Amino acid sequence: MFALGERLKESREKCGLSLKKAYELTGITDSRLSKIERGQISCTPDDLKKLASLYNIQLIPLYVLADYLTEEDVKEYQFVFRGVSSLDKDEMQHIQAQIDFLNKKRKGDLI
């Protein structure tokens, strides 16, 4: 958790933001953010999302640092989603329908 706090503090300072300004922009109190940065308390996934957006940094590495995801999780997702960016909206919806069908089949929810 300390590595996460260091990363967040470094990112905030790199953006030239005070704790108070970060609070104004995210709604995360300066006291809470200070404790997160010092590793005294954990950071919620929602707060990490807000901070990543504010600091313009990638969210997934923060989730790994916070132990919400493992490196293995990330590798799995990268494998599953490789090539998705080349699909159009209709193709993605078709793939999602196939996934939904397979999940229903597995659960025995199909007639």
Across the range 18-42, mean pLDDT stands at 97
Domain membership of residue 55 (yes or no) is yes
d(Cα 45, Cα 66) in Å, to the nearest integer? 9
Q: What is the pTM of this model?
A: 0.72
Domain span at residue 32 reads 2-65
Domain membership of residue 85 (yes or no) is yes
Could you tell me how many helices (H) and strands (E) the chain has, helices first? 7, 0
56 in the same domain as 12:
yes
49 in the same domain as 7:
yes
Across the range 92-101, mean pLDDT stands at 88
**CATH code (residue 31):** 1.10.260.40
88 in the same domain as 60:
no
Across the range 39-43, mean pLDDT stands at 95
Cα angle vertex 12, ends 19, 58, to 5°?
135
Share the mean pLDDT of the chain: 92
Q: Tell me the CA end-to-end span of the chain in Å, nearest whole number.
A: 48
9 in the same domain as 59:
yes
